[in-house]
Amino acid sequence: MRKRIKQSVIVTVLMVLVVLNYAYAEIIPFNSELWEIKAKESKIEEYLGKKSLFLGPGGMAVINDSEFTDGIIEYDVALPQARGFMGAMWRLQDESNYEEFYMRAHQSGNPDANQYTPVFHGLPGWQLYYGEGYGAPVKYAFNEWLHVKIVVFGPNAEVYINDMENPVLFAELKREMTTGKVGLRVAGGPPGLAGGHFADFSYTSSDNPPLKGQPKEPEKVASGTILSWSVSNTFDEKSLAGKFRLTENDKQDLAWTTLATERTGLANLARVQGPRKGKNTVFARVIVVSEKEQVKPLQFGFSDRVNVFFNDRLLYSGNNTYRTRDYRYLGTIGFFNAVYLPLNTGENELWMAVSESFGGWGIQAKFPDMEGISIKE
């Protein structure tokens, strides 16, 4: 009996020490040499009674010697009542590759009031990763300090805003689990975006930080979903203007990378490379083998624009770019489109030319009827 009591006391003391370690994580002053701040507009100033860092749109502040895999990140943020995107980064490999959580001040109370997204090759993927598990409806107070805590453990993260007992978001992280830096960011974009103030930033590394939630059981992938694509190097979208048939000249300078999809069938093309000026398009290619001549429907989604070539002939062109349909249109991806493929006996080549502006570069496709056809590995 005494041995059990002693063990219980030891466990309790250890738990208290863990809690104290998190509670008293050292706050890193913004005037410390540990910070590297890159921003067109930034300043360290007193704001709402705290020593704060103001970051303008496109600004980034990183703790250079930080090494963070799992643990807890905490900070205060003051949101202006204006359109803006303020948040934190972790497992940062460089300025173009990291995990990110940010708050959309102008969407206070809405389902997309905040966002978890991976960033690959400088491209956040909010058009690919949206809805439950990527954002949560939170009502914000403006121009006062909100406390944010992000708990990261393995392939998951949990976010708390003001209420440190009940997380608002449980996210399944999309990047590989690697050690990287931590920091803060305010997203840039069109003119008129607001900056934000941060205060009391701290982080603590831990081998086993506490998560209250658990990942959901993965949904069964629909039969006929394409699970791997060959992805080309980038080229200029303009080279396809007015082109109704692909020729050997269109194909001769292409190099290919095999990209497995996520378990949902989504292929995040930014995992391979990022778009850049004059080279914002790739081909995503699969080979469909048919037992006979027949027509099969293909359901697909894309971000931002697509030209569908089948056996070198253009069958479909679509535009899913942000705000192309009305000022509220987000351009999120889904199986919202369909094309009917005239299959020949034997091998058939499906080439999707996918172009990106911003917000997520992706393709997904599935055959609702696989009778008499297969996807060549």
- The CB density around residue 329, as the number of other CB atoms within 10 Å, is 12
How high is the pLDDT of residue 283?
A: 98
How high is the pLDDT of residue 300?
A: 98
- The CB density around residue 89, as the number of other CB atoms within 10 Å, is 24
- DSSP string across 223-242: TTB--EEEEEPPB-GGGGTT
How high is the pLDDT of residue 24?
A: 54
How high is the pLDDT of residue 17?
A: 40
pLDDT tens digits, residue range 14-27?
344 444 444 458 89
How high is the pLDDT of residue 23?
A: 45
Structural domains in the chain, CATH included, are 27-205 (2.60.120.560), 228-375 (2.60.120)
How high is the pLDDT of residue 190?
A: 87
Q: Which residues of the chain have pLDDT under 70?
A: 1-24
Residue with tokens 């910070």: 35
Q: What is the largest CA-CA distance in the chain?
A: 84
pTM given for the model: 0.91
Angle at 304 between CA 127 and CA 102, to 5 degrees: 25
| CA within 13 Å, CB half, 61 | 29
